[in-house]
Structure 1
């Protein structure tokens, strides 16, 4: 299992995954996956946890990010790490994009679209 070698902004599918939240899959294989999330101001990434290690980069916008018991405001240029099984989520304070990498790949993202 692996993605195409290249993914292009203008042709990669955006999938709506919540009110004001869209997901675009970038490169992946079974061990690693990169995903872009687009948020509208006021939208939420609901609190959740998963078995995957996750790192993220704030490509644009501003978010209130919750990691476990810690809440921080993060902005363009910032990043964060989510250890496996850590409850996390965000509220978008101004339109923005998060670029996430997961290890291993989020196979559930493949089964819900964005192939």
Structure 2
């Protein structure tokens, strides 16, 4: 992937050219595209996979592409399914537990340079 933090991101991001990274037991991440302001990331979860409760300065929008997740944002917990989404403001504690294998699409602002 081109370092899009110092220039323009590629116009097309072909998934076959993007590596997957294992980030936890049953959780893999694929950075799809980014620039300094925005990053799009696909996160695949096996059933039982955990996205540990955490916080970061980035705002995060997450879309449930498939599967079923228990999502906690702040003190609120909801079961989300395909087509649902959640939003975590900067420094908001959040996490997920995967009840049925699935995929989240995460958008971060600014880009998560720690993922590169």
Q: What TM-score do the two structures reach when normalised by structure 2?
A: 0.91
- Structure 1's unaligned 5+ residue stretches are 111-115
Q: State whether structure 2 residue 40 is matched by structure 1 residue 40.
A: no
Displacement after TM superposition at 1:4 (Å): 2.7
After superposition, where does 1:68-107 map in structure 2 within 5 Å?
68-107=74-113
**Which contiguous aligned blocks of 4+ residues in structure 1 show a shift greater than 6 angstroms?**
none
- Matched pairs, number: 110
In structure 2, the gaps of 5 or more residues are: none
Cα RMSD (Å):
0.9
What residue is the counterpart of 1:4 in the other structure? 10
Q: Does structure 1 residue 59 correspond to structure 2 residue 75? A: no
Give how far 1:7 is off: 1.5
Secondary structure of the 2:52 match is strand
The alignment partner of 2:97 has SS state of strand
